[in-house]
Amino acid sequence: MLETIDKRPTTSAPHAPPLFVHGACSSARIWDDHFLDFFAAKGYRAIALSLRGHGASSSSKPLKDCSLADYVEDVRAVAAELPSPPVMIGHSMGCWVVLNYLAKHGASAGILMAPGTPKGLRRWALHALRRHPWLVLRCNTFGNPVDLFDTPASAREFLFSANTPESTVTSCASRLEPESARAARETVNQLPDARDISAPLLVLGAGSDGSRVDGDAAAVAEMYQADMEIFPDMGHVMMLEPGWSDVAERIRTWLDGEQQQ
């Protein structure tokens, strides 16, 4: 059983429903602080799911063995229940899930928030290893990816900007949960071939993203010939940062433009 949070607009509107896919160590709840109500208020039916083994979603196998392909199947199962093809919105690891979903199933549009590079997360992994060799070694040997964020200091470094209120950092860190080591390893793989994706794409990057390397978002946008915008002074968890409403509004205006074409 997959957990979903479904916010419906008060008035019906001919919008494709956005389906929000969370990143590693997270769940559908990360979208519920701001984004789901924002889009419902704008006339969209907004749905977020918790991938298997996350939030209240069950899994038929141990979390550590779950793959990105399993997560894509979770998204397919939720999308199949919707009355029309959704707009796929992924964050971080969720971008891999969304892109693989689009390559296999298609959708009306796709939005990638804080994606990795076309060649995976190798550059950032090496960067993190140089800065925190023991922490990264522990996570990759006998720990879990969530251990990267096990202190307020590391959560801020990797996930938030310096200007994010401490209460936001603490609240997010307290909700982080274990991630599949297999799925995390698969994020070093190359992104899907651009020729396999026909849906229009919007790429959104964060200028102060401690979980990415400068140029990551631009490289993804170039690969897929996507529209792009970088939000300066914003950290990785763009949907919780103080400027979250600017990100949500950019998504809304882009979707409105796509629907008018």
Counting the structural domains of the chain, the total is 1
d(CA 148, CA 140): 10
Provide the whole-model pTM: 0.92
* Three-class SS state of 195: helix
**Nearest alpha carbon to residue 200 among 123, 122, 138, 256:** 256
Q: Look at residue 40 in the predicted model and tell me its pLDDT.
A: 95
Q: Which amino acid is at 256?
A: D
Q: Look at residue 11 in the predicted model and tell me its pLDDT.
A: 75
**Nearest alpha carbon to residue 32 among 244, 251, 253, 246:** 244
CB atoms closer than 10 angstroms to residue 151: 12
- Contact in structure between 19 and 251 (CB atoms under 8 Å): no
Which domain does 62 fall in, by range?
4-260
Six-digit token string for 170? 């603490």
- CATH at 148: 3.40.50.1820
d(CA 251, CA 114): 14
Question: Half-sphere exposure of 139 toward its Cβ, with a 13 Å CA cutoff?
Answer: 22
d(CA 108, CA 105): 10
Six-digit token string for 21? 């896919």
- Contact in structure between 98 and 199 (CB atoms under 8 Å): no
User: End-to-end alpha-carbon separation of the chain, Å?
Assistant: 37
Q: Look at residue 138 in the predicted model and tell me its pLDDT.
A: 59
* Three-class SS state of 82: coil
Compute mean pLDDT per 10 residues along the chain, 261 residues long, and list them: 94 84 96 97 95 96 95 98 94 96 94 84 60 59 67 85 93 92 88 94 94 86 96 96 97 84 56
89 forms beta bridges with: 20, 111
Residue 193: DSSP 8-state = P
Burial of 83 (0-12, 13-18, 19+ CB in 10 A): exposed
4-7 and 46-49 strand pairing: antiparallel
